[in-house]
Each structure stands twice: as structure tokens, then as C-alpha cells.
């Protein structure tokens, strides 16, 4: 066949030359030759203006090339050789409206064929100005603002802000308030990781994980709604304690959660952990070393997956979490698969903590005794003029916080969540800065994704679990 | 890096003798006399350095065991204090010593400038861009100092205290209900 | 026994609207917190598929309903408008949540105070974030509006 086309080719060039063909039959004949894939005459190029088709005559092509085009020979290495020779890269814009970037992350990928050579993350598409809004809200209203930051971990945001405020105020909390905070944040860690496993599965083609992960998450959200009134963005943990006591029957709810979700986790392990497709997509992909984590400020599960035993709940405990028994899972290789395993085990450990809290929940008040911070109970407002004035002042002016600055860090589901609060002795923070784990992780994406396949980029993005509200604030 | 044997003597030399300084901090105080230790309590170890010394101090801190970059931000003390208007705040973490370190650098001027520490801690890259974007603080030596949060054509720096919040008046209009 | 008549009379508009409301395909425009609730609406527990709505399209070219789920920043607004322009007519917009509808509690420099300044909105959903039931109610409201022709501006 190759001989045929080459002979036709030579005759075409002789007859047509550089000018347009004279007759309609000649034109049709040339059209057929061109459609057959041989070298086109010049006038065809001029008419279509799409450039040459770059197809070599068969007698000039090497046997390897012919075999590869025919599909009888598969040689992956040749692909890379050709790209290196051509030195041609493609810029691919991914996002901000893309289903696999977990929000409005935009990446500019420089591709060499299938290989990602350089990545530039472009963020700010969800910049909400929360740090500015935080300066206009009182310390009591502050959690309303920050809870919408990392919307998968609202309790952690509230807790971090409340701890920073309480450190500036210098107040202590009753044990029940601390225990409720631990219970809610640990359940929140589970719900956040469930969303992660749902989206990670979906990004790698396991759409059923999406259904399963959210099925389990509904259990937790129902409990959150019962406790706080909202499924997300709770504004429940506030400076001076929590907004309300746990609802009636919370022990049964927690018991159900602690029993049901590990069964779901077993399902996920059955579906994913030894699944050869999942292993192929995750093992050895997106490796980050401990040193790189330090340099970029990456904390949380990616750091632990790289083998560093660092969990703020153990090393710098807060809110009485040191009283509960749990373990910190560690990885070895720092790849996507290790991050998956670390998060899966973290969910079990968090449920362990929740079960212990439910068992040992102390009695007492759920708010601080400090009357400057805590509004009077509803019943007292009806009886006492003082209480009414007090209540009014707390909710209009707010309480004044002594001047000072404080950096408070807690272990969020994505890593170290830090709030840097500056007070100048007013009822509103002079400056509120949120150090968010996703922001640090996003800037490591160029390192993580360099020289990986483009198909793996979604696995890598999902594995660092970015929340764009957390990145852009 | 930290010399455990030298640490007890450093407690006496340190500016605040009452709480014993952890060895890495003591080593840092010794190695870098230009930095002043503002306070060291409740897990908050705050140093203040001159802007010109920031890079060297960050290098010294990294050598003293503060291997992890955590945070970089700024505070605008507009009409709140005499002297320089802005503070650049750097938060570092030492995993091996379980210590936090905060570095304050005062900067001032219409176009305040501080040296970039991206050469010491690459993770400061996005943080410095954010501070440049929202505060207008110039980080000299930064590889790519461009706006990060706001659109490229934005004018002004919204987190400065003399910039208003930018809220629009809320108007309530008649609503329409679908039957 | 006489067979029932084998035809019915209607107008092109009403049969087109009937078809449209039964198959409104959503463009995923998940921005912030509301996107998580939108995911929950589509997942098993709430099961949006009951209303012929389980198909969420990643490409705006294949969608005719944009659910703006979350706060729209000044930087995102041009992107949102472009995605809207890429959707084929007829198209509808649901503004989900307080932030998308009015800017919510973030009345500041960074956010567009209501997505209706960028694209025409058919249904607003209150809540921060609205629960899946609220979103489903909004979708059903939209269906009613499409069916009756009120929301069809072609």
C-alpha cells in the first residue's frame, strides 16, 4: 500500500505544479489524492490554510515509525524522545471553573505531551476579605466570620479563634466546655476527611466513593444540626465556651456515629485500599519529602504521610485533648497513597476520641464563669435589670480584650490552623490573620506535580485536600 | 546546632532572666545580638529585629533548629503607636525542640519595604505576595512579587487601615413571589 | 368500542417548556460552602435524581441551569459571566445562599454584592448555607416557572 501512494504522489506533483488545476475533473482527482493522505499540492494548502499535515511518505519513514503508526509496536520511550527533540510545550489552563480542582483553584500547566513540566497556581478567586471583615466584628461575632473560612472544618476555625481570644483575655473554661469542644472538633475532622475521601475517589474515577462518603457524612451533619442549628458554618464554639449545651439524647447520636462510621470505613478499605486501579493511580505519585514539607510549611496529613511524627494535638495540646487516648498514624513514602492511608486512620482515631469524650463527659457549665464574656442566662434577663443591661452590652458593644498579640495554632484536618490576633484593648480585633494549611499546601503544588503525568495531577490536588475558602480567605 | 552545655550560662545573659530560656532560643540570642527578645511566655517567643537584619536572622533561626516556615503576615498600626506604621510578622516552628518563634520587623513609609526571606524559607513566597497585595509592603529580592488575591488591575491595598472596608449600602427592594 | 382519539392539541411553547423543565441540566458552579451542600443534594441521602436533576455537567456548553453556589469575588465575577455566556439558550440561574444573593455577611471590598449584578437570576435561595431541602425547593420552584413559561425568556 505504501508503494502505491508514493507513486501516486509523484504523478500529482508533476501535473498540478504550483497553480490551481484547470478542469473540474482534475480538481476532483487531486481532492481524492489529498484525502488519501499523500502529500498535498500547494493550492490545497492555500485553500484550507491549516498548514501541512506533516505526514512522511512511507518509503522515507523508518520501519519503527510505520509499525507504531499501525499499532503493531508500542514504544512509550519514543514519545519522550520526540518531545525532547522538539522542545515544544503546551500551556493548559485548568480552572477556575473545573470539577477536579476542589473549588475555584486555577492552575496553569506547562505540558510536554502528557508530562507536566511546570505549574503555576493562580488563586484569589474566592478572596472574601475575611481578615478585613474580622476587624469590623466584635470578638463575640468573630467566629461567625472565621467559620466560613475553611467550610469543611468550621468547628476548627471557631475553636482556633476562640482559643486565641481566650488567651488574650486570660480566662479558663469549665471542663464540660472543653470536652464539648473536643467532641465537636474531632467529629468535624471525620466529616472533613469524609468529604476528602468522597472527592478523592471521584477524581480518580471511583464515583461510588462520592455516594458512600457523603452518606456517612450526613450522619455527622444531622448531629451538628441538632446541636448547633446549622449543618455547616455553625458559630457554635465562641470565646468563653460554646453557644449551647449538647442536645438531649446526644449520647445515642454519638454512639450511633461511632458505631456506623467505622463500618463505612471498612467499606472504603474494601473498595479502595487494595484496588489495583487505585493503587496504580496513587502509589509513588506526588511524592513530597519531609524536607520539602518544612520548606513550604506543609503540615497535617501530608507531613505525617512523609513520616514526620508531628501532631499539634500531641505536641502542643489544646482544649484538654491531651486527656484522651489516641494515636497518630504515620506514613513512609509521602505519596498520595500514604496520605490516603493516614487520613483513613485519622478518622478512626478521631472516632476513638469522640467515644472517650462521650463516656467521660463531665457535668457542669458549658460556658466560662467570667461574667464579662459570658452573657447571662435567658431566665435571668426576665428577672434582673442588671442582667438585661449586661446582655445588651455584650451583644452590642462586645467585651473589651486587653491589648496584645497572640498566635494560636491547632491541628485542623488539613494541618496547622493558626490565628494571629492583635488587640489594642478594643472590643474588636485590630488585626485578624488566619494562617491556613491549604494556602501553604497550594504553593507546593509546582513541586508536587512537576514531571508527573497530567492524569495524576487531579490525584495530587485531591490528596493535599485543599479547600479554596481556606486558601483565599 | 544547639549547644546544651552552653545553655545554662545563657539564661543569665538573656534579657529576661526570670523564665529560663529554652536552649535553642538562648543559642539564638547569643548568636544574634542585634535581635531583641521582646517576651517569651506561654509558648510565644517574640523577637524584634531591624529590617536589614531579617534575612540573616531567619538564617540563624533556621540553623538554630527552626526548620519549618509557618506564617508571614503584617499588621498596620495606623495611628496606634509612634514610630513605624507596619509590623511584618514571621512565625517559625521548630519540630525538634517543639518551639515557636515569632519575628517582628517594623517597616514604614509610603512604599514600605522589607527584605524577602524566600531565599531562606521558600514557603514565604505566597505569603509575601499576599502581604504585598493586601498591605503594599515591598519585599525586595522576591522572585515574583505580583498580586495574588486580588485582580491584577486592582488599585490600593485593602488591609491598610486607611482603606475603608468597601462595603456598599444595603438596599431593600420589593420582592416578587412565584405563585 | 371506539378507540380514544390518537392525538392531543397543545401549543409548541407549552410542550417545549414541558420538555425543558423535565431535563434541566446543571452546570457545577461550586464556589464555596454552598457547593458542599449542593454535593449533598446530589448524593444518595437527598437524591436530586428524583426530579430528573442528577446530571451535573462540568462543561457549561452542555448545561442550561447554573447554580451559583457560594460567594462571588470581584476576581471571579468575569469568569462567572463568561461561563454564563457559554451556556446555550434557554438558560436559568439559581443564586444559592446569602453570599451569592446579596453578598451575605461579607459586605466588603472583595465580594460582588449579589450575583444578580453579573448575571440575571431566576430563583434566590436563602440560607447560609441553604440545606439540601432549600435547594430542592428552589429547583422545584424553577421547574414550575419554566413549565408555566414565566421564566422562559427566549
Q: What is the pLDDT of residues C123-147, one digit of tens each?
A: 999 988 898 999 999 989 988 888 8
Q: Is A472 on the interface with C (CB under 8 A)?
A: yes
Cis amide linkage into residue C129, ω under 30° from 0: yes
Q: Where do we find the cell 499546601?
A: A441
Contact assignment for B170 to C102 by CB distance below 8 Å: yes
Residue from A272, A135, A106 nearest A197 by CA: A272
Q: Give rounded-to-5 percent helix, strand, coil for chain C.
A: 40, 15, 45
**Which pLDDT value is given to residue A11?**
42
Span C81-89, mean pLDDT?
87
What gap in Å lies between CA C118 and CA A32, rounded to an integer? Answer: 51
A-B Cβ pairs (cutoff 8 Å, strict): 91
Nearest CA to B93 out of B62, B54, B133 is that of B62
Task: Please name the member of C44, C58, C128 whose beta carbon is closest to the beta carbon of A99.
Answer: C58
**What is the 8-class DSSP label of residue A321?**
G
Q: Which of A30-44, B72-86, C133-147 has the lowest mean pLDDT?
A: A30-44
Superfamily of domain A130-472: Cytochrome-c3 Hydrogenase, chain B (1.10.645.10)
Q: In whole numbers, what is the pLDDT of chain A averaged over residues?
A: 83
Q: Which of residues 257-316 of A touch C (CB under 8 A)?
A: none
Over range A157-182, report the average pLDDT.
Answer: 92
Residue written as grid cell 486592582 = B154
Residues of C with CB below 8 A from B155's CB? none
With both helix axes pointing from N to C terminus, report the angle between A207-228 and A175-203 in degrees, rounded to the nearest 10.
160
Residues of chain C in contact with residue B154, where contact means CB-CB under 8 angstroms, are 74
Query: Taking CA atoms, what residue in A is nearest to C113?
Result: A128
Please tell me the distance from the alpha carbon of residue B166 to that of residue A204, in angstroms, as a whole number. Answer: 42
**Cβ C107–B163 below 8 Å, yes or no?**
no
Q: Looking at the complex, report in whole angstroms how far the Cα of residue C116 sits from the nearest Cα belonging to chain B.
A: 13
Cβ of C109 and B165 within 8 Å?
A: yes
Q: Other CB atoms closer than 10 Å to residue B96's CB: what's the count? A: 12
C-alpha cell recorded at residue A272? 479502595
The yes-or-no verdict on residue A454 having pLDDT over 80 is yes
In this prediction, residue A419 carries a pLDDT of 93
Q: Are C72 and C80 a contacting pair, CB within 8 Å?
A: yes
Q: Which of C113, C145, C150 sits opposite B168 (nearest CB)?
A: C113
Work out the average pLDDT over B112-121. Answer: 91
The span from the first CA to the last CA of chain B, in angstroms, equals 75
For domain C25-148, the CATH class is alpha beta
Average pLDDT over residues A118-137: 89
A214: chain C residues, CB-CB within 8 Å = 39-40, 43-45
Average pLDDT over all residues of chain C: 86
Quote the pLDDT of residue C9: 83
Distance CA B73, CA A430 (A): 14
Q: A422, A433, A469, A471: which to substitute to probe chain B, counting the most B Cβ within 10 Å?
A: A433
pLDDT recorded at residue A20: 52
Nearest CA in chain C to A473: C110
Domain ranges of chain C: 25-148
Q: Check whether A190 has a pLDDT greater than 90.
A: yes
Chain C residues with CB-CB distance to A232 below 8 A: 33, 36-37, 129
pLDDT level of residue A14 (50, 70, 90 thresholds): very low
pLDDT at B38: 76
- Angstrom distance (rounded) from CA C80 to CA A96: 10
Contact between C70 and C34 under an 8 Å Cβ cutoff? The reply is: yes
* pLDDT per position as a tens digit, A74-100: 555 544 455 444 567 888 888 787 777
Residue A118, judged by CB atoms within 10 A of its CB (0-12, 13-18, 19+), counts as middle
- Residue A6, pLDDT above cutoff 60: no
Environment class of residue A451 by beta-carbon count within 10 Å: exposed (0-12), middle (13-18) or buried (19+)?
Answer: exposed
Distance from CA of A421 to the nearest CA of B (A): 10
- Smallest Cα distance from B152 to chain C, Å: 9
Per-residue pLDDT averaged across B129-140, rounded?
91
Give the percent of chain C with pLDDT over 90.
10
Cell of A342: 493516614
Please give the pLDDT value at position A340: 92
CA-only gyration radius of chain C, Å: 17
Residues of B in contact with C76 (CB under 8 A): none
Stretch B65-81: mean pLDDT = 90
Q: Is the pLDDT of residue A37 over 60?
A: no
How much is the pLDDT for A411? Answer: 92
CA atoms within 13 A on the CB side of A72: 6
Q: Measure the CA–CA gap between A106 and A119, rounded to whole angstroms.
A: 10
Chain C residue with minimal CA distance to A199?
Answer: C39
Calculate mean pLDDT across residues C56-84.
Answer: 87
Nearest to C74 among B151, B165, B178 (CB): B151
Tell me whether B89 touches chain A (CB under 8 Å).
yes
DSSP assignment of B59-116 equals HHHHHTT--EEEEEEEEE-TTTSSS-SEEEEEEEEETTTTEEEEEEEEE-SSS-EEE-
Residue of C94, C99, C109 best to disrupt the B interface, most CBs of B under 10 A: C109
Give the residue from A292, A327, A321 showing the smallest Cα distance to A306.
A292
Q: For chain B, give me the number of helices (H) and strands (E)?
A: 4, 7
* CB contact residues (below 8 A), chain C span 48-107, against chain A: 58, 60, 70-71, 73-76, 79, 83, 105-107
Task: Indicate whether A329 pLDDT > 80.
Answer: yes
CB contacts under 8 A, C 55-84 vs B, are 74-75
% of chain C with per-residue pLDDT over 70: 99
* Cβ atoms of B105 and B51 closer than 8 Å: yes
Nearby residues of B60 by Cβ (< 8 Å), 6 or more positions away: B28, B31, B32
Q: What is the pLDDT, as a whole number, of residue A1?
A: 41
- Establish whether the linkage from the previous residue to A66 is cis, with ω within 30° of 0: no
Q: What is the pLDDT of residue A436?
A: 92
Q: What is the pTM of this model?
A: 0.83
Interface touch A214/C43, C-beta < 8 Å: yes
Identify the CA nearest to B165 among candidates A133, C30, A453, A238.
Answer: A133
Q: What is the mean pLDDT of residues A190-208?
A: 89
Band of pLDDT at residue B2, cut at 50, 70 and 90: very low
DSSP string for A9-40: HHHHHHHHTTSPPSSHHHHHHHHHHHHTTSPP
Structure-model confidence comparison of residues A40 and B143, the more confident one: B143
| Range list for CATH 1.10.645.10 in chain A | 130-472
- What pLDDT does B131 receive? 93
Mean of the pLDDT values across residues A150-169?
A: 92
Q: Which of A49 and A389 is assigned the larger pLDDT?
A: A389
Residues of C in contact with A97 (CB under 8 A): 29, 60, 79, 83
Least confident of A344-348, B9-13, C69-73: B9-13
Q: Report the sign of the C-alpha dihedral through residues A46, A48, A51, A57, in that order.
A: negative
Q: What is the largest CA-CA distance in chain B?
A: 82
Residue from the list C102, C109, C141 with its beta carbon closest to the beta carbon of B166: C109
Amino acid at each position: 500500500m505504501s508503494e502505491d501512494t508514493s507513486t501516486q504522489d509523484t504523478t500529482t506533483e508533476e501535473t498540478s505544479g504550483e497553480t490551481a488545476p484547470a478542469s473540474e475533473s482534475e480538481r476532483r482527482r487531486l481532492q481524492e489524492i489529498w484525502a488519501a493522505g499523500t502529500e498535498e499540492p500547494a493550492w490545497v494548502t492555500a485553500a484550507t490554510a491549516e498548514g501541512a499535515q506533516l505526514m512522511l511518505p512511507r518509503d522515507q519513514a523508518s520501519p519503527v515509525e510505520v509499525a507504531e503508526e499501525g499499532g503493531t509496536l508500542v514504544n512509550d520511550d519514543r514519545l519522550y524522545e520526540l518531545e525532547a527533540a522538539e522542545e515544544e510545550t503546551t500551556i493548559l489552563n485548568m480552572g477556575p471553573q473545573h470539577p477536579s480542582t476542589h473549588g475555584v483553584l486555577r492552575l496553569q500547566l506547562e505540558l510536554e505531551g502528557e508530562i507536566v513540566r511546570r505549574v503555576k497556581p493562580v488563586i484569589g478567586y474566592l478572596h472574601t476579605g475575611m481578615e478585613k471583615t474580622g476587624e469590623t466584628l466584635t470578638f463575640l461575632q468573630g467566629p461567625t466570620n472565621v467559620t466560613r473560612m475553611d467550610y469543611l472544618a468550621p468547628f476548627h476555625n471557631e475553636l482556633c479563634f476562640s482559643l486565641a481570644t481566650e488567651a488574650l483575655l486570660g480566662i479558663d473554661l469549665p471542663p464540660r466546655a472543653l470536652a464539648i469542644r473536643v467532641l465537636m472538633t474531632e467529629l468535624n475532622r471525620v466529616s472533613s476527611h469524609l468529604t476528602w475521601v468522597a472527592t478523592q475517589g471521584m477524581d480518580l474515577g471511583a464515583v461510588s466513593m462520592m455516594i458512600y462518603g457523603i452518606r456517612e457524612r450526613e450522619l455527622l451533619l444531622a448531629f451538628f444540626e441538632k446541636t448547633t442549628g446549622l449543618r455547616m458554618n455553625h458559630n457554635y464554639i465562641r470565646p468563653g465556651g460554646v453557644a449551647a449545651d449538647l442536645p438531649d439524647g446526644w449520647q445515642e447520636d454519638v454512639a450511633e456515629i461511632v458505631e456506623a462510621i467505622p463500618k463505612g470505613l471498612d467499606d472504603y478499605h474494601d473498595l479502595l485500599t487494595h484496588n489495583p486501579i487505585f493503587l496504580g493511580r496513587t502509589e509513588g505519585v506526588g511524592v513530597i519529602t519531609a524536607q520539602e514539607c518544612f520548606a513550604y510549611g506543609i503540615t497535617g496529613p501530608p507531613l505525617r504521610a512523609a513520616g514526620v511524627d508531628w501532631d499539634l494535638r500531641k505536641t502542643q495540646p489544646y482544649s484538654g485533648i491531651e486527656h484522651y487516648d489516641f494515636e497518630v498514624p504515620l506514613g513512609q513514602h509521602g505519596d498520595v497513597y500514604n496520605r490516603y492511608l493516614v487520613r483513613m486512620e485519622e478518622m478512626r482515631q478521631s472516632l476513638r476520641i469522640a467515644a472517650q469524650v462521650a463516656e467521660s463527659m463531665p457535668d457542669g457549665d458549658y460556658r466560662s464563669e467570667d461574667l464579662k464574656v459570658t452573657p447571662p442566662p435567658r431566665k435571668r434577663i426576665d428577672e434582673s435589670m442588671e442582667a438585661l443591661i449586661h446582655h445588651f452590652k455584650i451583644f452590642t458593644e462586645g467585651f473589651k480584650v486587653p491589648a496584645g498579640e497572640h498566635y494560636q495554632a491547632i491541628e485542623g484536618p488539613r494541618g496547622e490552623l493558626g490565628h494571629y490576633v492583635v488587640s489594642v484593648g478594643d472590643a474588636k480585633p485590630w488585626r485578624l490573620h488566619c494562617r491556613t494549611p491549604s494556602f501553604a499546601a497550594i504553593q507546593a503544588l509546582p513541586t508536587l506535580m512537576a514531571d508527573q503525568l497530567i492524569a495524576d495531577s487531579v490525584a495530587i490536588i485531591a490528596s493535599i485536600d485543599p479547600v479554596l475558602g481556606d486558601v483565599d480567605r | 546546632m544547639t549547644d546544651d552545655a552552653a545553655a545554662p550560662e545563657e539564661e543569665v545573659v538573656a534579657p529576661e532572666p526570670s523564665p529560663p530560656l529554652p536552649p535553642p532560643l538562648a543559642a539564638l540570642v547569643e548568636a544574634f545580638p542585634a535581635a531583641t527578645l521582646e517576651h517569651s511566655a506561654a509558648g510565644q517567643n517574640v523577637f524584634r529585629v531591624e529590617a536589614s537584619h531579617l534575612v540573616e536572622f531567619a538564617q540563624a533561626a533556621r540553623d538554630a533548629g527552626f526548620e519549618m516556615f509557618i506564617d508571614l503576615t503584617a499588621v498596620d498600626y495606623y495611628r496606634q503607636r509612634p514610630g513605624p506604621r507596619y509590623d511584618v510578622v514571621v512565625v517559625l516552628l521548630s519540630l525538634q525542640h517543639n518551639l515557636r518563634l515569632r519575628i517582628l520587623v517594623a517597616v514604614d513609609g509610603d512604599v514600605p519595604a522589607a527584605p524577602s526571606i524566600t531565599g531562606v524559607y521558600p514557603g514565604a513566597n505566597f505569603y509575601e505576595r499576599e502581604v504585598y497585595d493586601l498591605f503594599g509592603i515591598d519585599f525586595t529580592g522576591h522572585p515574583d512579587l505580583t498580586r495574588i488575591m486580588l485582580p491584577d488591575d486592582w488599585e490600593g491595598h485593602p488591609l491598610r487601615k486607611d482603606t475603608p472596608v468597601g462595603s456598599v449600602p444595603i438596599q431593600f427592594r420589593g420582592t416578587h413571589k412565584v405563585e | 368500542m371506539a378507540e380514544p382519539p390518537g392525538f392531543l392539541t397543545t401549543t409548541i411553547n407549552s410542550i417545549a417548556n414541558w420538555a425543558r423543565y423535565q431535563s434541566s441540566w446543571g452546570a457545577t458552579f461550586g464556589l464555596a460552602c454552598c457547593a458542599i451542600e449542593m454535593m449533598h443534594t446530589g448524593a444518595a441521602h437527598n437524591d436530586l435524581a428524583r426530579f430528573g436533576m442528577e446530571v451535573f455537567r462540568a462543561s457549561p456548553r452542555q448545561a442550561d441551569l447554573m447554580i451559583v453556589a457560594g460567594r462571588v469575588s470581584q476576581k471571579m465575577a468575569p469568569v462567572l459571566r463568561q461561563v454564563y455566556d457559554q451556556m446555550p439558550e434557554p438558560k436559568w440561574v439559581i443564586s444559592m445562599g446569602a453570599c451569592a444573593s446579596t453578598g451575605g455577611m461579607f459586605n466588603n471590598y472583595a465580594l460582588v454584592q449579589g450575583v444578580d449584578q453579573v448575571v440575571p437570576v431566576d430563583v434566590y435561595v436563602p440560607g447560609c448555607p441553604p440545606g439540601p431541602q432549600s435547594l430542592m425547593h428552589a429547583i422545584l420552584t424553577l421547574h414550575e416557572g419554566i413549565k408555566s413559561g414565566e421564566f422562559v425568556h427566549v
